[in-house]
Structure 1
Amino acid sequence: MSDTHDFRPIILAGGSGTRFWPRSRRARAKQVLALDGERSMIQRTLDRLAPLASPARCWVVTNDLLSDTICGQLDVVPEDQVVCEPAARNTAPAAGLAAFLIERTAPDAVLGMFPADHVIGDETAFLATIERAIAIAASGDNMVVLGVKPTRPETGYGYIETGAPYEGTAVRVRRFTEKPNLERAEEFVAAGNYHWNSGIFIWSAQTLANAIREHLPDTAPMLEEIAAAYGTPQFREVFARLYPQCENISIDYAVLEPRSAKGERYSRLYCLPASFGWNDLGSWAALYEHQLEQLNGGDARANVTESNGSLPIEASGNYVYSPKKYVALIGVKDLVVVETDDALLITTRHHSQDVGKVVKELAAQGRTELI
């Protein structure tokens, strides 16, 4: 890409990945697992960004439980640019802190916010879309979100309603809607001008920092104080004291929804439709569908097994992870079976979004060794 834009990817890797229990645990969450190949999800995220920014320009926001693993997997990223949240505070404080840190020395730098656990099919198209987003973000007080054309009425994603064309393929954003019910999701898909919110955002450090100052006036001063302490002996103490006091809110609710309320002509919010094969692998069912697509073009009757051999007899649509054992499937349909050394999950693909409830119940029971 052109050297005219100073691009800094920010990889958000603080999630616990509870819907991928029992493989995903607090100290080994989804983003550091190799769910889709030999490289972990966060390694693949960094790999695909390499043509746009060197690892020395990348930042990672994570937590103390994952930091050692992430520093080991991303040993090309400077260790002091792996920032460990002392408390989980959702994406607005995480993204805002990155903006305040970088604004101090490079206010015009363009930041890209990338969740650490996405799968991208066409990386060439992905890079072209990001380059376009960088150009829009660098040209003013603009915010760009990548929107994915919906293929089904999915209730697990947020939606972006788009309006007038802007430049090229970009369109103006009318509003954001978080995770609708099935009836509304069906309406959105039928309308044709809605996109899934990919969670990938592009904006300058100054644009985001100013938006945090405007929309989170109580949190912004604390993030600025933390950023001011970065690189000093007081940093960890200031971070640990102030960050847990920051508002626990997503960047969508904190900044994007209030901006969209200004109206599409004035919000300077833009959507770039993404056509590069996006999947956020939000559940075992999503992983099954993704691997099915890779294996045989998506025959929903097929089984996906990661095992030491398998034998299906009148069985279809099952996902099984049991890497050390031979698996026989007889007369079962649409199951998810995941085995680790200390736990066994048995559910259906339909209920795989509910796996996080297991982690909550285990926590309530004090079974911390299993989470």
Structure 2
Amino acid sequence: MQLTVFIMAGGSGERFWPLSTREKPKQLLKLVDKERSLIRMTVDRVLPIVPAERIFIGTNAIQAKGIAEELPMLPIENIIIEPQFKDTAAAIGFGSVVIGEKYPDATMVVLASDHLIKNEENFCKRILTAAEVAEDRGAIVTLGIKPSRPETGYGYLETEECYIGEPTPVVRFWEKPNLQRAESYVASGRYLWNSGMFIFNIATMNQAFETYLPKHAALLTQIAKLGDAKRNYSDAKLNDLFSKFEKISIDFGIMEKFHNTMVIPVDFGWNDIGSFPALDEVFEKTEQGSVVQGSRVVEVNSSDNIVLGMSGKVIATLGVSDLVIVDTKDSLLVCSKAEAQNIKKILEQLNK
């Protein structure tokens, strides 16, 4: 089996502003480990099962330089630059074209660049199992996270039966539920969080594109014929073809429709670190229940805050709870944890 890894790293990390910027988004930040960025942690996680020459990164021109500097162990040609953002169906399709040219019989593992996984040995074990299922059964396989709470911020996968480590068909994909529905999902024991990790043979995915996203398939065929030009993100023909992609996710476009989608239930300490409140599950807390990183923080009659001080100033809180406070050289963010998902609205105002 030619196992390859494709790490999607084109996101802007808007919900981590002001730490995250367009040039240095969340995946390039040393957010959890003082020595390694999130994307470096992702690459290190798969190196025990996939050599560096078979690990590829999908990104954009703005972030490509920073990624190359962060991942010197990867061949520079393994950084695949998309000329335009057209959502994950186009990104994975384009990645499959480039990787398939070098490894035509590859089984591809698609990962996000900014997830945290505690039990990395168990993670590698599940990836290898998923790859075997993808090869032997012609399936597109995903990893489903055993829910630890009724989370309303994740999509869910419904199964008929759900046992950790045992591959099972996906009955249906469900969008982010309200709290009542999320509670019923968790209580049933048959629902899993959708991790956004996918494992498939490239030939299987090509067939899926032809069946469920034929316009994508036709464009990808034309891109494949561009030769070296498809690796030049400023090439006019490549940009013209990319402009014709419909913006659609791989979930909506293929995974929910494919006749043989399977999931492996897993429990290896997964966190997608989607917004600042997720750090409550990552760091040890003060006696007041707060996450404090960076500058000296003084808490008086305050509790359950997230305080990240990057400017060196003393930060003092008095009589406040459930806040996110982020102090950088250029910006200061103060918001409630409940509003942290909406930080991109601030950027919309700043960019007017």
**Structure 1 partner of 2:27:** 31
Shift in alpha-carbon separation, 1:65–1:251, aligned structure 2, 3 A: same
| Structure 1 residues 1-371: aligned runs within 5 Å | 5-37=1-33, 38-164=35-161, 169-232=166-229, 235-236=232-233, 237=235, 238-259=237-258, 267-291=259-283, 295=284, 301-323=288-310, 324-363=312-351, 365=352
Unaligned runs of 5+ in 2: none
Partner deviation per Cα, 1:166-202 (whole Å, 9 max, x = no partner): 9961111101112222232222122210000001110
Shift in alpha-carbon separation, 1:30–1:230, aligned structure 2, 3 A: farther
- Alignment-mate amino acid for residue 91 of structure 2: A
Partner deviation per Cα, 1:288-347 (whole Å, 9 max, x = no partner): 3322xxx25xx8941111133222222110111113122222221111001122211100
C-alpha contact (below 8 Å) 2:141/2:198 kept by paired residues:
yes
C-alpha contact (below 8 Å) 2:162/2:265 kept by paired residues:
no
**Cα offset, 1:84, TM superposition:** 1.4
Report sequence identity in percent: 38
Shift in alpha-carbon separation, 1:167–1:304, aligned structure 2, 3 A: closer
**Cα offset, 1:247, TM superposition:** 1.4
> What's the RMSD between the two structures over aligned residues?
1.9
Partner deviation per Cα, 1:50-105 (whole Å, 9 max, x = no partner): 01111111111111110110011112212222111121111111111122233345
C-alpha contact (below 8 Å) 2:163/2:265 kept by paired residues:
no
Shift in alpha-carbon separation, 1:164–1:153, aligned structure 2, 3 A: closer
**Cα offset, 1:106, TM superposition:** 3.2
Q: Could you tell me how far apart the structure 2 residues matched to 1:139 and 1:312 are?
A: 57
Q: Could you tell me how far apart the structure 1 residues matched to 2:232 and 2:322 are?
A: 50
Unaligned runs of 5+ in 1: 260-266, 366-371
Q: How does the TM-score come out when normalised to structure 1?
A: 0.89
- Alignment-mate amino acid for residue 189 of structure 1: V
Q: Could you tell me how far apart the structure 2 residues matched to 1:300 and 1:205 are?
A: 51
Partner deviation per Cα, 1:190-219 (whole Å, 9 max, x = no partner): 221000000111001111111112111112
C-alpha contact (below 8 Å) 2:279/2:291 kept by paired residues:
no
Shift in alpha-carbon separation, 1:138–1:342, aligned structure 2, 3 A: same
Shift in alpha-carbon separation, 1:269–1:13, aligned structure 2, 3 A: same
Shift in alpha-carbon separation, 1:207–1:304, aligned structure 2, 3 A: same
**Cα offset, 1:244, TM superposition:** 2.2
C-alpha contact (below 8 Å) 1:142/1:268 kept by paired residues:
yes
Matched residue pairs, number? Answer: 348
Q: Could you tell me how far apart the structure 2 residues matched to 1:225 and 1:288 are?
A: 46
SS for the counterpart of 1:258 is: coil
Shift in alpha-carbon separation, 1:121–1:234, aligned structure 2, 3 A: closer
SS for the counterpart of 2:58 is: strand
- Alignment-mate amino acid for residue 213 of structure 1: E
Partner deviation per Cα, 1:111-148 (whole Å, 9 max, x = no partner): 00000000001011111111111111111311110000
Partner deviation per Cα, 1:223-265 (whole Å, 9 max, x = no partner): 2222332434885423222112211111100001112xxxxxx
